[in-house]
Structure 1
Amino acid sequence: MSTNAIVAGPDDDEIGDALEAEGVDVTRVNGVVSRPSLEEAGIVDTDLYVLTDVGQATTIPIACDLNDEIRAVTYTRDTVPEFVRGQLDLAIDPRLMDATIVAEELID
C-alpha cells in the first residue's frame, strides 16, 4: 500500500519533491487552504498532512477532524501557534533538517 500526502502552502524547501522521491503520492494545495480544498485534495484518505505556512495553521485541526488517522506535520521556519501544537505529530524547521532526511523519517 502506498503512502499519500497533502503538502499545503508554498514548498520553497521542496518537502513535496522529497516525499515523491520516497515514493509518496503527493497532492499539493496552494493559496488559501480551506476545508473544501482539503476535501477536494483527498484529506479523508490521506496518510500525511504537511503544512508549510503557519499562517494557515487553522487547517491542522480541520485535517485532524476529517481524518482521525492522519499524521500532521509542519515544515516551516516560523513558530507554530500554541493552539495547534497538541494536534501536531511533528514540527520541523527546514534550517535544522533537510527535506530529504525529513521525508525518509516520515516514511520509515
Structure 2
Amino acid sequence: MSLRAIVVGPDEDELTAALEAEGADVARLTGVVSRPALEEAGVLEADLYVLTDVGQATTIPIVCDLADEIRTVVYARDSAPEFVKGQLDLAIDPALMSSSIVAEELAN
C-alpha cells in the first residue's frame, strides 16, 4: 500500500516530486484551502498532510479533526504558529533538510 499524502501550499523545494519518487500518491492544493477542498483531495484516506505555507496553519486542526491517524508536517522556512504546534508531528525548515531526505523519511 502506498503512502497517500496531501501537500498544501507552494512547492518551491519540490517535496511533491520527492514524495512521488518514494512511491507516494500525492494530492496538491494551493490557494486558500477549505474543509470541502481537503475532503475532495482525500484527507479522510490520507496518511500524511504536509503544509508548506504557514499562513494556512488553520487547516491543521481541521485535518486532525477529520482524520485521527494522519501525520501532520510543516515543511516551511517560517515557524508554525503556536496554536498548531501541539497538533504537529514534525516541523522542518527546507534550509536544513532537503526534500529528498524528508520524503524518504516520511515514506518509511
Q: Give yes or no for TM over 0.5.
A: yes
1:59 aligned to 2:59? yes
Could you tell me how far apart the structure 2 residues matched to 1:16 and 1:74 are? Answer: 13
Percent identity at matched positions?
A: 72
Could you tell me how far apart the structure 2 residues matched to 1:88 and 1:18 are? Answer: 21
Deviation of 1:32 after TM superposition, in Å, equals: 0.6
Which ranges in structure 1 are unaligned for 5 or more consecutive residues? none
AA aligned opposite 1:22: E
Summarize deviations over 1:17-73 as a string: whole Å, max 9, x none. 100000000000011111111001010000000000000000000001000000000
AA aligned opposite 1:44: L
AA aligned opposite 1:81: P
1:74 aligned to 2:107? no
1:83 aligned to 2:83? yes
* Match of residue 2 from structure 1: 2
- Taking structure 1 as the reference length, what is the TM-score of the superposition? 0.99
Deviation of 1:107 after TM superposition, in Å, equals: 1.1
AA aligned opposite 1:71: R
Could you tell me how far apart the structure 2 residues matched to 1:58 and 1:46 are? Answer: 18
Q: Counterpart of 1:5 in 2: which secondary structure?
A: strand
Which ranges in structure 2 are unaligned for 5 or more consecutive residues? none
1:92 aligned to 2:92? yes
AA aligned opposite 1:47: D
1:33 aligned to 2:33? yes
- Number of aligned positions between the proteins: 108
AA aligned opposite 2:50: V
